[in-house]
């Protein structure tokens, strides 16, 4: 029981992925998305997608049917799909739904359908050009938040520690020329120091050092792992 409560209270596991598609580009991505490595995990993942699609289509269909019924509009495709008797039974069922309950329920369902159940934050180093940070949005309907910082504007990048509540957290910060405040990398997830050190060494090497190469995986912490 205690282990179950601990799993609920603990933050989601974070994974650092390092990808180098070209010799001059490298991307560090910290993600809370679970990695499906077994057949049951893959089945569960795709089943979850199908469930989301089902509930999303059902919510939209109910709203559309209620609107058509309220405006006394015909629904020919229901007659073709269900027949006259099936359509009549479905129409009677939808007529019992009240707008004041149907609209909030449908909107809540659609929000949950489009809600992203994980967070990903990335930092991409473009050698000779600069770095780009990116944070995924809370829903699939929104684009990620991105920012590009040219190399000429980057004065320094360092790891700083500060108190957050009653614990010490580590931050990867970028000092940008002409700005009063530093740019915090991975501001939402705030990964542990070991992960930040891997990113810090890679970024400094990509921006200012010669003989840049892909870093080795060297961190495995309590709820974080590195995959390359």
For residue 94, the model assigns a pLDDT of 85
DSSP H helical segments within 71-192, as ranges? Answer: 76-95, 99-114
Question: What residue spans define the domains of the chain?
Answer: 2-33+119-227, 40-114
What does the pLDDT average to over 199-223? 67
Query: Is residue 203 over pLDDT 70?
Result: yes
pLDDT in tens, 60-86: 989 988 888 888 777 777 767 677 777
Consecutive H or E run containing 39 = helix 39-70
What does the mean pLDDT of the chain come to? 84
As a whole number of angstroms, the distance between CA 60 and CA 48 comes to: 18
Q: To 10 degrees, what angle do helices 39-70 and 99-114 make?
A: 150
What does the pLDDT average to over 140-154? 93
């Amino acid at each position: 029981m205690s282990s179950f409560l601990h799993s609920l209270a603990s933050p989601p596991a974070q994974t650092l992925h390092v990808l180098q598609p070209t010799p001059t580009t490298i991307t560090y991505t910290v993600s809370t998305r679970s990695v499906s490595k077994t057949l049951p995990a893959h089945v569960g993942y795709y089943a979850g997608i199908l469930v989301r699609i089902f509930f999303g289509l059902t919510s939209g269909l109910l709203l559309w049917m209620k609107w058509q019924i309220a405006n006394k509009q015909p629904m020919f495709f229901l007659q073709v799909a269900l027949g006259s008797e099936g359509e009549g039974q479905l129409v009677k069922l939808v007529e019992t739904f009240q707008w004041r309950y149907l609209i909030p329920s449908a909107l809540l369902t659609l929000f949950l359908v489009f809600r992203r159940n994980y967070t990903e934050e990335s930092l991409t180093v473009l050698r000779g050009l600069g770095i780009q940070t990116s944070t995924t949005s809370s829903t699939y309907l929104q684009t990620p938040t991105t920012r590009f910082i040219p190399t000429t504007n980057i004065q320094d990048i360092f790891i700083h520690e500060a108190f957050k509540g009653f614990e010490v957290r580590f931050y990867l910060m970028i000092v940008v020329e002409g700005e009063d405040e530093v740019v915090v990398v991975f501001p939402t997830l705030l990964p542990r120091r070991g992960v930040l050190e891997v990113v810090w060494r890679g970024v400094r090497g990509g921006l200012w050092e010669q003989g840049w190469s892909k870093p080795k995986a060297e961190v495995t912490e309590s709820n974080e792992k590195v995959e390359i």
